[in-house]
Copies of this chain bind each other. A is one copy, B any other.
Amino acid sequence: MDNGFSPRRMDLPKALDMSHHLSTLSTSRRPSPLKSLIRYMGDSSIRSLAGGLPNSKFFPFETLSSLTLDPAIYAPSGVPVPKPKSWIATLFDKGLQFIETPKYASNPRELQLSTALQYGGGGGSAELIAFLKEWTLMVIPPSYSDFDIILNCGSTDGFHKIVELLCEKGDGILCEAYTYPSALETGWPMGVRPVPVAMDDFGMIPEALEELLAGWDDVKEGRRRPRVMYTITIGQNPTGTVLPDDRRRAIYKLASKYDIIIVEDDPYFALNFGTYGVDAPGSEEENDPKASEQKRNEVFINALGRSYLKEDHEGRVIRIDTFSKTIAPGCRLGWTTSNALFTERLLRASETSTQQPSGPTQVLVINLIVKTWGMGGWLRWLRGLRGEYGRRRDWMISSLIKGLDVEVRPSQLAYNVFSSTSAPAPRLIAYAKPTASSLADEQWNEKVSVYNSSSKGKGKKIVSFLPPTAGMFVWIDVHLDAHPSLNGRSDVASESYKEDANEVMHRLFVALAEAKVLVAPGWMFVGDGLMAGAPKEEDMASTSSSSGLQSDASVGHFRLAFATLDEKPMKETIAAFCVVVKEFFA
């Protein structure tokens, strides 16, 4: 299945035998008898009466085409962006490309609708898989030789199949204390429960993971020690954290020691902006007219966050990638990378559920990124996306700093998420009732504004956050003990405090919604269902108790997404957000 573009290093070890991880369900899967006939049909001299295929002549689409954006349409990170033009004008500037796929290509081995819209193998297009293998070998690459790739119908579908692949009823899945809730919901009806692991501003804490695993008591917990971990390590959803390399190595070692399969969901890998207020990685090359596109692409690849797959010399990592954030979510197209045994079992699961991903989607994506853009164009497109989303990250953070009168110390600009995690990450903090008046507008047009805190008399800390270095989200800690109704109470650990705290968070959510600002409440992302703000009707109580978390009822959370708004509405919306928050704590 190797594509020949980027040779695999065959001196690398092969994956270990992971067959003991397969669930009863997955072990019981059999190949579809009908699919076995498709093999014969490759012989063009055979006249087949065997298949159940409809006649491709009668597919009503003679062509499938699209006007597509130029891959270089968006400015990369660190490049001075010209004054915004209208969307239409931008298109005229850059021109559009017309891509078209015919029903019958002159060479029937080429991309054609008569094949791509017909029944096919459950794994998806061999051409796209070859491209994705080349990509994997280029940007990751895994530390074992015999990995394989299968397409899926988006990450949710991919993860759903992985849960069925690995989990028995009643199993636990390790995850970050705050995580993507749809992932938890996938296992829930199968009786699979999240086992949250404590995290901080750097993501999952290896020491907390080891404590949890080493001290696991099957009887006390009512389930066997978890053998699967679900994790998002780059721009984590919802906390925006990026796992440093030393933690990644430490956690992989633990996974190896305790025989855990790591499922790495990495939708934001390309949106890796670097530290807020510091030139984005690669800016130097982007601004150097003498740098080649190849050089710029190389620098971009080297600046990407790492994958667990890179640590993986045993074949215990399953990586889920998606086109949802780089092309469009409606494509419902992604891919799963793992050892060949798991890939084969996932193929069996596809054959009796989704079969292959949508043909029109595959045709569009293959024509665009494999045939039209090529690997160089694809990388240029991702650099542009990183630029666009990175600028939005900057607009949101600078607007929060301004609107909340946040003090920024110069040392915070030297913060690097990949540096040692022994020191706490430098959070930005907003205080109630600062004495300094709001700063003039002009100051906030800069990337970041630094001023001396000594001029300000501080009230209580009301919110704090770490500017994210990747992803789409800012995770706001709301310090509820600053609120008049909770201020000074000493019963923080009590049920009544928790209820009152939830009530305060809910009031703040409603106050924001009334000001037409909708945020995502933190309880939506809670791995163990114990955090502030969760409505009582959400029964998330029966999760594992072994979270290792110090749940702090005095801290609530909001997730703010910076992906969709343009500069002006972003600044207005965050300004409105800040006004409501400050008034709420006044």
Chain B residues lying within 8 Å of A360, measured Cβ to Cβ, are: 330-331, 358, 360-361, 364
Q: Which of B33, B60, B64, B355 contacts A332 (CB 8 A)?
A: B355
Assembled-state Cα–Cα distance A25/B182 (Å): 16
A344 within 8 A of B: no
* Contacts A64-B364, A67-B62; A49 near B358 (Cβ below 8 A): no
* Those of A329-381 within 8 Å (CB) of chain B: 329-333, 351-362, 364, 368, 381
Copies assembled: 2
Contact B353 A332 (CB under 8 A): no
Chain B residues lying within 8 Å of A565, measured Cβ to Cβ, are: 47, 49
* Contacts A26-B189, A368-B60; A237 near B330 (Cβ below 8 A): no
How far is the CB of A10 from the nearest CB of chain B, in Å? 32
A292 within 8 A of B: no
A385 within 8 A of B: yes
Contact B49 A519 (CB under 8 A): yes
* Contacts A32-B185, A181-B34, A563-B53; A61 near B328 (Cβ below 8 A): yes
Contact B58 A74 (CB under 8 A): yes
Assembled-state Cα–Cα distance A387/B62 (Å): 20
Contact A91 B66 (CB under 8 A): no
Contact B359 A330 (CB under 8 A): yes
Assembled-state Cα–Cα distance A516/B50 (Å): 12
Assembled-state Cα–Cα distance A144/B82 (Å): 61
7 pairs of A and B residues whose beta carbons are closest in the complex? A330-B359, A358-B358, A117-B330, A117-B328, A28-B189, A160-B353, A360-B360
CB pairs A–B below 8 angstroms (27 shown)? A28-B189, A29-B185, A34-B182, A37-B518, A40-B513, A47-B572, A49-B561, A50-B518, A52-B520, A52-B563, A54-B329, A54-B564, A60-B381, A61-B364, A62-B67, A62-B68, A62-B91, A63-B67, A117-B330, A117-B331, A154-B354, A186-B352, A330-B356, A330-B362, A332-B356, A359-B361, A360-B364
Chain A contact residues, CB within 8 Å of chain B: 25-30, 32-34, 37, 40-41, 45-69, 71, 74, 87, 91, 96, 113, 116-120, 153-154, 156-157, 160, 181-182, 185-186, 188-191, 237, 324-325, 327-333, 351-362, 364, 368, 381, 385, 388-389, 392, 472-473, 513, 516-520, 524, 538, 559-565, 569, 572-573, 576-577
